[in-house]
Amino acid sequence: MSSEVISREVKRRRTFAIISHPDAGKSTMTEALALHAHMISEAGAVHGKGSRRATVSDWMEMEKARGISVTSTALQFNYTPESSTAPLPNVINLVDTPGHSDFSEDTYRVLTAVDAAVMLIDAAKGLEPQTLKLFQVCRHRGIPVITVVNKWDRPGQTPLELIDEISERIGLIPTPLYVPVGIAGDYRGLLDRRTGEYIHFERTAGGAKIAPEILMNADEAAEREGDAWTEAQEEDQLLSELGQNHDQEMFLAGQTSPMIFTSAMLNFGVRQLLDALVEFAPPPHGRESIDGDEREVTDPFSAVVFKVQAGMDSSHRDRLAYMRIVSGEFERGMVVTHAQTGKPFATKYAQAVFGRDRSTVDNAYPGDVVGLVNAMALAPGDTLYMDSKVQFPPIPSFAPEHFSALRVTTADKYKQFRKAVDQMDAEGVVQVLRNDIRGDASPVMAAVGPMQFEVVTARMKAEFNVDTIVEPLGYSIARRTDEASAPELNRQRGVEVFTRSDGAILALFSDKWRLQYIEKEHSDLLLEPLVAAAD
C-alpha cells in the first residue's frame, strides 16, 4: 500500500487512554463516549444500585460485583463530529484502564500504546493520589493530556478552585474550552468559549440516552439562566485575561491541558469531549526503536504488544494479545516476525475488540489496537514486524511490594494449577517467582498491590475450576541480583532468592532495615533497585 494511503488513514485515527483515580467515573465515561458515537443504543450504567448494569468495558465478574475496573480493555469505533466535512469518519481507539493503584502496572502498559490521555477528575475530590501518579507517567512519556472534570451534576469545587489546584500541584495549565453554566450540583450547560454561545443540556431518563442539546445565543442564555449565565461569562473573561486559552503547540508540548466539565452519568459534555479529542489529540506518530532509530508510520508494518488477556469469554478458552500498530498496514493472515525470538508469527486470527465483543479485522493502520487470538508466544513489550527488522524498547516490570505463596487445595487439580499459574504469569497479572526450595507446587506471586492476588484466585476458580490458598509472606522489598550473589544472600536471615519467569534473579527482603544491613555488611553483593510504580 502506498505511503499516501497510510498517511491518510493515520490522520483519521485518535488513540487515547482514560486515566483516573478509582471511582472518578472512568468506565461510565467510556460507555458515554461509545453511546455518543452510536456504537451502543443505551449506556450500561443507570441510576440506582439495584438496577445498575455492568459497563461494556467491565467484563470480569469481580469488576461487575465491585463496580471498578481491574483490567484494561480496548474499544474501537468510528465518530464524525457534527461540524466535520471530512468524507470519512474518525477512527477512535479508546483504552479503558484500571483505576485502582494495585493495577498501576497494567495502566502503565496501556500508556505505552497511546498518543494522548484523558485525565478524569472527580469535581468534588479534585486531584487524587493515583491521578497524580498517572499524570507523572504521561509527562515522562510525553503524552499530551486533556483534563475532564466529571460528576459536575454533583456538589463539588468551583471551576477556578479546580484550575488553581491543577496548576499548583502538577504545573499543568488548564485551558477550559467551555465554562460550566450552573455550579457543581446544578449542571445546566456549557458556555462555548470560542463562540460565546450557550449549549443547554436536557436530561433523559436515568441518563441512559444521549442528552438533547439546545444551542442559544448570549441574549437567549441570559434570559433563560440569569445569574448563572452572567457568572459563566465573568469566569470566561477572567480566564482570557489570564491567558488561559487553548494553544495547540503548548498542549502538545505538555505545558497546557484543554479542560472540559462533564457528567458521564447524565451524558452532559460528552460530545464536546469527543469533538475535542478529534480536533486536538495528535494522530499516531513514529516510535523510537531500541537502537535509537525512528520507525515512521509509513514504514513497513510493525507493532508492539502491550497486553495479553485470557478468560474474556467463557465460551472461548483463548488468549488475546493486544498489539498497537506502529507503522505500515496490517493485513489479516500476513506472516510477521517476532523480534524477541526471530521466529515467524501467523496472524490468521486477528480481531477488532469492543470491550468483550470481537469481530474479525482484515486491515488496520498505525494507531489501531488489534487482538491476536491464541498468541501463546507473545508477551507484553514484544515487537512484531515485516521486512526491515525493528525492535521497540521493552515494557519494564514494576517493583513488587507484596508477596504471597500460592498452593492448590487438592492434588488432583495440580495439572490445571500449573497451567493457570503459567497463564497468569504470561499475561502479567502477577509476577511469578520460583526457587528450588519451594518448587513448582508453591510458586510465589509478586505484585504491586494485594488486589492482584484476588484477581488470580478468582480467575483460577472461574476459568480453570481450581481452588487455591494464598499464604502472605513476610517480605516487602525486592532487588535484582545475580548468580554470584545469590548463595550469600540465601544464607542471610530475612532474605530469600528467586528466579522470575523472564530469567531475572530477585532477592526478597523482610524490610528496609534488613536490606540496609546487608548492603552495609556485604557491599560486594549486587542489589539493584527495580522500577518503582510511582516512577
Residue whose cell numbers read 503547540: 249
**What is the pLDDT, as a whole number, of residue 6?**
95
Identify whether the C-beta of residue 333 lies closer than 8 Å to the C-beta of residue 43: no
Cell 462555548 -> residue? 192
Q: What is the dihedral of CA 123, 124, 125, 131, to 10 degrees?
A: -10
Helix (H) or strand (E) holding 464: helix 451-464
DSSP state of 207: G
Q: Say whether 298 counts as a known binding-site residue.
A: no
314 secondary structure, DSSP code: T
Question: Alpha helix (H) ranges present in 179-284?
Answer: 218-225, 227-241, 248-252, 270-280
Instruction: Provide the pLDDT for residue 50.
Output: 35
Give me the pLDDT at residue 57, please.
45
Q: Edge-to-edge strands of the sheet including 468-472?
A: 468-472, 402-408, 444-447, 431-434, 495-500, 505-509, 477-481
CA atoms within 13 A on the CB side of 40: 21
- Tell whether residue 99 is among the known ligand binding residues: yes
Summarize the chain as % helix, strand, coil (round to 5): 30, 30, 40
The whole-number pLDDT of residue 133 equals 79
Would you state the pLDDT for residue 474? 93
Please check if 155 is assigned to a binding site.
no
The whole-angstrom separation of Cα 466 and Cα 419 is: 10
Amino acid residing at 113: A
Blockwise average pLDDT, block size 10, the chain, 535 residues: 89 93 85 88 48 45 51 81 88 78 72 93 90 83 95 96 94 96 97 98 90 96 97 97 96 96 96 97 96 95 89 61 95 95 92 73 93 86 95 86 94 92 86 92 91 88 92 95 96 96 94 95 94 57
Number of residues written out for the chain: 535
Inter-residue contact 64 to 228 (CB < 8 Å)? no
Please list, residue by residue across 331-350, b when 16 or more beta carbons sit within 10 angstroms of its beta carbon and e when fewer do.
Answer: ebebebbbbbeeeebebebb
Could you give the domains of the chain? 3-280 (3.40.50.300), 287-385 (2.40.30.10), 402-521 (3.30.70.3280)
Q: How large is the C-alpha radius of gyration of the chain? A: 25
Q: Check whether 387 is labelled as a binding-site residue.
A: no
pTM for the model: 0.82
Q: What is the pLDDT of residue 2?
A: 80
Do the annotations mark residue 344 as ligand-binding?
Answer: no
Long-range contacts of 66-70 (CB under 8 A, 24+ apart): 68/22, 68/23, 68/98, 68/99, 68/100, 69/26, 69/27, 69/96, 69/97, 69/98, 69/99, 69/100, 70/98, 70/100, 70/102, 70/103, 70/451, 70/455
